[in-house]
Amino acid sequence: MVQANTTYGFIGLGQMGHGMAKNIRQKVPIDCNLVIYDVRAEAMNEFIKDYSNGSNVIAATSPKQVGELADIILTSVPKAPHVKDVFLNPDTGLLATQKRSGRKILYLELSTIDAKVSTEVARAVIDGGFGDFVDAPCSGGSMGAESGNLSFMVGSPDKLYPQVLEVCMLMGKETSIFHCGGLGTGLKTKLLNNYLSSLTTLATAETINIGIRGGLDAGKLNKVLNASSGMSFNTAVNNPVPGLTPNNAASKGYVGGFSLELCLGVLELGLKAAQDLGAKTILGLPMLEAYRDAARDKRFQGKDSKIIYKWLGGEDPVLS
């Protein structure tokens, strides 16, 4: 059960972080403060305007100030260098705070980054006596973040997991929150999830593009896939073809969601992990090259990664 008078901290109000921070603010007791930080002051101001009740949302001037005020801190930033800066910057980082006797902070790092970097940050937190650290990357996209339906892959010591589960349940359902093992296992699991999801995105885009070019009705084809063995999350929930899952980024001009560049970065980590382990892969490199080529095209840069459908030459379907 969420404790009253707990102060939460959230760093990173981007596509994922905004929805997660919103759900925390809406679901914890009103007397629990939420301290937020984002490099974009306008993001913090907008959040306070939309979700503050009196003075229970506080805009921090740096991660360091979040660390000075919060008991439980969640971080959701784009890449490993951002995570390191948020935690380890000697002037503004979370660990630049003055340690206080008897105070132990719980840090949940939600970003999808290299497990080695996460372990480096974890060691700085734990060995420095700042508190406890877990990696808890999430899946479900910006839609899942806003609706509170994310899945979480948690890497943490067994003794911490009950408390971590309570926090994650503010942003997702218990049935979609998984304790994957010790530190780093959440991130290793998440990289594999993204690897498979990107494969099925590309396969879905190819399949429906072929169908449309062959004269099939895209909507009817997708209904068949969703009732048959071709069904996946990327046919049913987050389809790369505009209009087939109306509320996702692909149906909104590929704006928002999980950017092509971030997706590419995660895929490179996933394939590198396979190579380091000596695991044979057949589909990984061609998939990676497809996303790399798409990311070089100025038409697709900054768009949601489902834009891979347009890279294939896919057209917006005529839906009946």
- Return the active site residues: 190
Residue 12: φ, ψ to 5°: 110, 95
Distance of CA 221 to the CA centre of its chain: 30
CA dist 70 to 74, 134, 138, 204, Å? 10, 16, 22, 43
Q: Encoding tokens for residue 210?
A: 């072929």
CA dist 20 to 16, 27, 75, 113, 168, Å? 7, 11, 10, 18, 9
Transcribe 131-185 into DSSP letters.
EEEEE--EESHHHHHHHT-EEEEEE--GGGHHHHHHHHTTTEEEEEEEEEESTTH
